[in-house]
Chain A
Amino acid sequence: MKNFTKSMALIFSLSLLSTTSASAYTVYISNEKDDTVTIIDSKTLKVTDTIKVGQRPRGITLTKDQKQLLVCASDDDTVEVIDRQTKKIVKTLPSGPDPELFILHPTGNPLYIANEDDNMVTVVDIKTNKVLSEIGVGVEPEGMGISPDGKTIINTSETTNMVHFIDSKTHEITHNVLVDQRPRVSIYGPAGKYVWASSEIGGTVSIIDAKTKEITKKISFKIPGISQDTIQPVGIQLLKDGSKAFVALGPSNRVAVINTKTYEVEKYLLVGQRVWNLGFTPDEKLIFTTNGISNDVSVIDVASLKVIKSIPVGRYPWGVVIAND
């Protein structure tokens, strides 16, 4: 009996371990209203530090070597570069006005920044701090994505309701695809064959064939007990093998888990309030969601599709990026 209890205790502690990430990654969360970045250890799921940054931090990413953190300080009209070791701002990049979201070229340079107030995408060389180009796009640009081969940049414009396809060499728009109202996030699927674009007001996610630029599928959401106007798709993340997509559904407080073969929603997970963006740990065991109103981050165990923890962070958590170490 004693041995049985011991074994059970061992199994229990092992099962607890398996719900957290095997490796310790560093999770960075931008807090829009607090002007801070919260740092979380993915193994202990505890906040380890908070860094003071510029005004209204939103978009957040890492340099290719992962030594530096890039943060859009939207109300300071700049992108801040933070050294991950010292946690200090080491320089600022010229971003153009009101930078909201950005994407780094797969080679690590340049950085493509959406300027929400100026209908532009600013291209910045992050080594020389020079603006290489300003690309005119639709009204209120927001989502930024890039094809895995780095040849095509995608950008959504909230008011024009379009996904713009931009040649990364010529900086010319090659195609515009009309999607549902207020498109937010747009990303390429892992193989680069499809683009996923969320429409906040339209309440849908459009799947666009990257070659033909045709919308091949439109995913709608229906959650029992929840009115349709609260279902506002924003953040999207896909597993590396492309088998599942996770979509943050804003004020419905749910994350939809989509089977990418059938495009059926397998599950709606209740997370925190106004779930906005999502980020996988590099091993894809966990996914972190930023919850703008409840001021916390929810942690989802990808294998069991269960919300395992809520971590209080700063006010209005917005963006998330997770480093390899």
Chain B
Amino acid sequence: MLQICFKKTSPLTGPLTGLFMLTLSAAIIITTTPTHAFSEDKNWPCAQRKVEKLSAGQMWRGSPVDVKDTSWQTNDKITALTKEILPRRITLEQTNKTITKFASENKDNLEPLMKQTFLALLNETNQIRSEIIGGIGRFTKRQKDLAKRITTNRQKVTELEKNDEDGTLTKEQDKQLVALERSLEWDQRIHEEREQSLDFVCEAPVLLEQRLFALAKQLNAPFEKK
């Protein structure tokens, strides 16, 4: 059985990682071979070019954030807010309400707080995303290995069938042929199912990117209006 394991990296990643573990455990039976011949990473199966890490500048529309600022790590207010808005089960409507309330309670120091919250979200999202991207790479390799096994077994079956036609098939070979045919049928079915789920697998990092962008917009909104 193919497995993709995700490490829980911080308490903040809990629910989201859990969701993606679920998503990708469904994808355990899903792997693929690269469809874009010119992807830079041979084990990257998605049509979208692989982007290892999301950058602050991709998301943040206000004045530049200092990515070296790690003060969010020791700020309880930010930890609490991040915990509340990061999980994907929380709708964007809810996160917007939470952020607006947070903004109204922290008017004096709003911009630095929002920037630090964004940095916390960026950091958490990049960690989860990197685990998913690693998982996609591993599972693509497994799909390639499966494709290789299918080719080898198909060749063996052809040889044994030839023996059968020639009347030279031994009893032992007959047993082998039956087992190989059964295994081939399963392998092909699994391979095909995984191929069909490629879009779904490739969507996982995109969904994280999509959510971070939306959250960054919400965090930026209160002091943009000021």
Contacts and interface: CB of A to CB of B under 8 A. Distances in A.
A and B from one complex = yes
Interface of A: 139, 158-159, 181-182, 200-201, 223-227, 229-230, 232, 250-253, 270, 272-274, 293-294
Given A181-B38, A200-B49, A227 B55 contact: yes
Given A225-B65, A225-B67, A159 B58 contact: no
A226 B49 contact: no
B57 A226 contact: yes
A251 B40 contact: no
Contacts of A272: 213
Return the 10 tightest CB-CB contacts between A and B, nearest first. Answer: A225-B57, A226-B57, A226-B55, A227-B55, A225-B56, A253-B58, A270-B61, A159-B38, A273-B213, A230-B51
12 contacts: A226-B56, A227-B51, A227-B53, A229-B50, A230-B58, A253-B58, A270-B61, A272-B213, A273-B58, A273-B210, A273-B213, A293-B213
Nearest to B60: A225
A63 B209 CA distance: 37
A226 B57 CA distance: 5
B167 interface: no
Nearest to B56: A225
A158 B58 contact: no
Contacts of A201: 38, 40, 49
B64 interface: yes
B64 A224 contact: yes
B38 A225 contact: no
Given A159-B37, A227-B51, A273-B209, 7 more contacts: A201-B49, A226-B55, A226-B57, A273-B58, A273-B210, A293-B210, A294-B214
Contacts of B53: 227
Interface of B: 37-38, 40, 48-61, 64-65, 67, 206, 209-210, 213-214
A200 B54 CA distance: 17
Nearest to B214: A294
Nearest to A274: B48
Contacts of A250: 49
A273 B183 CA distance: 44
A294 B64 CA distance: 21
* A interface: dominant SS: loop
Nearest to B50: A229
A223 B40 CA distance: 22
A229 B61 CA distance: 20
Nearest to A160: B38
B38 A158 contact: yes
A294 B210 contact: yes
Nearest to B37: A159
B220 to A, nearest CB: 10
Nearest to A200: B49
A293 B67 CA distance: 24
A181 B40 CA distance: 10
A230 B59 CA distance: 12
B153 to A, nearest CB: 29
B193 to A, nearest CB: 20
A132 to B, nearest CB: 30
Contacts of A270: 61
Contacts of A181: 38
Contacts of B64: 224-225
A229 B51 contact: yes
A149 B95 CA distance: 54
